Amino acid sequence: MVQALSNPSELTELEQQILAGITTEKCVQLIKELVPTGQPGCGNSIDPEAPMAHEEDISKQVGQHLQSLGLEVEWVAAIEGRPNVVGRWNDGLPGPSLIFNDHLDTYPSCDPKEWHMSGHNPYNATLQGRYLYGRGTSDTRGNMTCQLIAVEMLRQAGVKINGELICAYTVDEERHGRAGALHLLNKYGLTADYEITAEPTSWTDGDDWGIGIALAHSGLCLVDIETTGVRSHIWRPDEGINPILHMAQLIEALRNTTFTHEAPEIYGPTQPSISPVRIEAGKIGEGQFTPPSCKARVWVIGLVPGMTYASIMQDIEQVIAQFHAEDNSFQVTVTQVEGETFVPASTEVPAEATHVQALSQAYQKVLGKDPVLYRKNAYCDTLRFSHSGIPSITFGPGEDGWPPVNEFIDMEKVVAATKIYALFLLDFFKVQPAEG
């Protein structure tokens, strides 16, 4: 359960005013409005051959919401029908610039029949106790809600900020950002002094509450592996070479391989390792015969700084070479999947960085304890901002489990994170009460 504010008497009148407007009802309402919009216009990084996501409707909704708050909004598209949202709050006062980020697309919903917590409709956000169920609640419209409502509360208070807040909400994140964050950074020219992405940060060791602050992110790499054999009848294995057996041996060996890397200051929950997600072999109607080949699609996850595509391939090839030395019938090819399928890790943002300190202090005010600082395992746009040279971190109440069905978010965490974001903005931009 969320603790009460540790020292409410120490809050300023402005802080009390803003926090009073952040309620469960308000947060639930906005998430429920965001979840169904544009669905199921999802994206999927493992299947580059699958149709692209369609984010136009949710982009329009979020952009219009920012306009209603008085921000200047642009829609910036690398691909027609897939516009990123860039909203700016600048009162002309000197100070730092900060990007708020989250993504507009979601990943596939799987079979609606399995979504029993939301009436067998993945896009019908449904409150059950303290948990709100639906695709996109946790990844990541529930997290976006925290930023949007925090901004709304400050705008309603009529305050002015010292610096510039840029709300950059992106498309294409589920496919690693070529039309989204990469386009904004490399073509549009988006930049700032600091950046925070609202993505799930609940998978933290040693924290029963969750919602840590990710100071760094692990990278990832997607490869296709193919073993080649010799076809034979199933009754005559002596006449053939079964590529499925070779693939099984290889996957097990890779699972136990320690990939070449140097330990970073902060590890993520998962160290460099493989995660197979697809194996294909054989044809319907030919079950009497062994297949000529077996294909597997494999993620290499938990990458840390210094790991490159070349180093990963070298590690994989060394395992293959050992098998081939023992059995020259062991034939394997490894190729990188097309698209943005290799993303290097980011280095740690110092805990002393201005936005980390301000966010940590806000966290302490709301929850009465210091946040866990860690390396997030999964991809999000923070990596792209970090690679561009912007000190970038991640913070959000979503659950890092991303279940295939019955995705959910804890509304107590949403309310707490929204309050943290609001207090953060007040501190980071040195906001004073509105005159009059």
Predicted local confidence at residue 268, as pLDDT: 80
Give percent above pLDDT 70 in the chain. 96
Q: Which of 296, 295, 293 lies closest to 255, judged by CA?
A: 296
Q: Domain 219-343 carries which CATH code?
A: 3.30.70.360
Model confidence over 54-73: pLDDT tens digits?
999 999 999 999 999 999 99
In one-letter notation, the amino acid at residue 104 is L
pLDDT band, residue 46 (cuts 50/70/90) = confident
CB atoms near residue 54 (< 10 Å): 18
Percent of the chain whose pLDDT exceeds 90:
86
Tokens of 273: 């390792």
Preceding amide of 40 cis, omega within 30? yes
Structure tokens at 71: 């921000």
Predicted pLDDT of residue 415: 97
Identify the CATH homologous superfamily for domain 8-217+345-428: Zn peptidases (3.40.630.10)
Which 8-state DSSP code applies to residue 307?
Answer: -
- Name 281's Cβ contacts closer than 8 Å, sequence gap at least 6: 243, 244, 247, 291, 293, 294, 295
Q: Is the pLDDT of residue 5 over 60?
A: no
Domain with CATH 3.40.630.10 in the chain: 8-217+345-428
How much is the pTM? Answer: 0.94
| Residue-level pLDDT at 4 | 47
pLDDT at 3 over 60: no
User: What pLDDT does residue 217 have?
Assistant: 95
The pLDDT mean for the chain works out to 94
Whether residue 6 has pLDDT greater than 60: no
User: Taking the mean position of all CA atoms in its chain, how far away is CA 121?
Assistant: 23
Q: Does the pLDDT at position 316 exceed 90?
A: yes
Where in the sequence of the chain do the CATH 3.30.70.360 domains occur?
219-343
pLDDT for res 1: 47
Express each pLDDT in 371-426 by its tens digit: 999 999 889 999 999 999 999 999 999 987 678 899 999 999 999 999 999 999 99
Neighbours of 184 (CB within 10 A): 28
Confidence of residue 203 (pLDDT cuts 50, 70, 90): confident
Q: Residue 303 and residue 174: Cα distance in Å, rounded?
A: 18
Query: What does the pLDDT average to over 256-273?
Result: 89
Q: How far is the C-alpha of 150 from the C-alpha of 422, rounded, in Å?
A: 5
Could you give the CA distance from residue 100 to residue 198 in angstroms, rounded to a whole number?
A: 7
Average pLDDT over residues 354-382: 95
pLDDT at residue number 313: 97
Calpha distance 333→228 (Å, rounded): 8
- Report the 3 state secondary structure along 146-207: HHHHHHHHHHHCCCCCCCEEEEEEECCHHHCCCCCHHHHHHHHCCCCCEEEECCCCCCCCCC
